[in-house]
Amino acid sequence: MSLADAIREVEGATVEPDVHRTIDADYYVLTVTSRGARGIVGAVGTFLAEHNCDITELAQYDDEEANHYYSRVVFRACENAPETLAILRKDFPRTAARFGMQWHIQARAYRPRVLVMVSKADHCLEDLLYRVRTGDLGMDISAVVSNHETLRAQVEHHGIPYHVLPVTPERKPAQEAELLGLVEETRSELVILARYMQVLSDDLCRKLAGRAINIHHSLLPSFKGAKPYRQAYDRGVKFIGATAHYVTSDLDEGPIIEQAIERVDHQFRAEDLAAAGRDLESLALAKAVRLHIERRVFLSGTRTIVFR
């Protein structure tokens, strides 16, 4: 069974993107963070009721140790006028100011523009392309950036611009400046490192903080360098996995969004471990991206608050 078939079997039949937009047309997502939680739920509920909206989903977490409150509210506008979102955004600041809230409101059907970065491995890229095409991920891929020509035909087959930005020590600053220029030019809100095998500079990590997601294998012990799955095989590992996290200047140590694991045993050859690892990387990355674009992830220093 292919990875795509497995996804369909586990998650059910996918829905075309235009159907998603129809279903979600009058639904909105409000995210809130604040110091302290007292009175916020009531204030938000009152605000939405006064604007003729019904709450359909509410997730919240009060971090008492950090004295910080996080909430994600899905609501339906009973009168779906074209100006509904503008009215909500205009009126909510009065409520937010009472509690010092940081907040964001968007239509649930909103499709963010995403820039994907790759090197030569294509399994995560192909999985993302499939999920976007079938409507499983509600986003649009604005461009693919690589340091190699290898995957150009695969990407351009989907009508997506493919940019090659070679990396050498001498031109790394210029390459990263070009990359940031593409992020701005394509109006991309998220950057996905789909097995992009280059280390981003500290400066670039800061500029993309909270809007760049990376995926890497997650093995115990932590096997670094070349052929990690060969190293895992030689050590007789019993679990392999993958971790999707936000990019920071601490290499592969950013706030974790999603992880996937699989039990293995002595019958797995090194190539079997690598094949299972590719599936886990694709699944963990796709889940992390979905959580992010659905605004289910809140950053709390080096931690994440994730509403499933």
Q: What's the topology of domain 111-306?
A: Rossmann fold (3.40.50)
Question: Which residue reads 């706030």 in tokens?
Answer: 255
Q: What is the pLDDT of residues 92-113, one digit of tens each?
A: 999 999 999 999 999 999 999 9
The reply to whether 252 belongs to the active site is yes
How does pLDDT run across 75-86, given as a tens digit for each residue? 999 887 788 999
Evaluate whether 140 touches 112 at the Cβ level (below 8 Å): yes
pLDDT at 237 over 80: yes
From residue 130, how far is each of 71, 221, 254 by CA, in Å? 31, 32, 27
Q: Which residue has the higher pLDDT, 21 or 289?
A: 289
Residue 10 has pLDDT above 50, yes or no: no
Q: Is pLDDT of 20 > 90?
A: no
| Residue 25, C-beta contacts closer than 8 angstroms, at least 6 positions apart | 80, 107, 109
54, 252, 272, 279: the active-site residue: 252
pLDDT tops 50 at residue 9:
no
pLDDT for res 93: 98
Indicate if the pLDDT at residue 8 is higher than 90.
no
**What is the domain class of 21-107 according to CATH?**
alpha beta
Between residues 65 and 112, which one has the greater pLDDT?
112
How do residues 289-308 score in pLDDT, each as one tens digit?
999 999 999 999 899 999 99
Q: Please determine, for residue 18, whether its predicted confidence score (pLDDT) is greater than 70.
A: no
Distance CA 216, CA 245 (A): 9
pLDDT of residue 79: 81
Q: How confident is the model at residue 23 (pLDDT cuts 50, 70, 90)?
A: low
Range(s) within the chain of domains with CATH label 3.30.70.260: 21-107
Taking the C-alpha atoms of residue 98 and residue 50, their distance in angstroms, rounded to an integer, is: 17
Query: Does the pLDDT value for residue 141 go beyond 90?
Result: yes
The CATH 3.40.50.170 domain(s) of the chain lie at 111-306
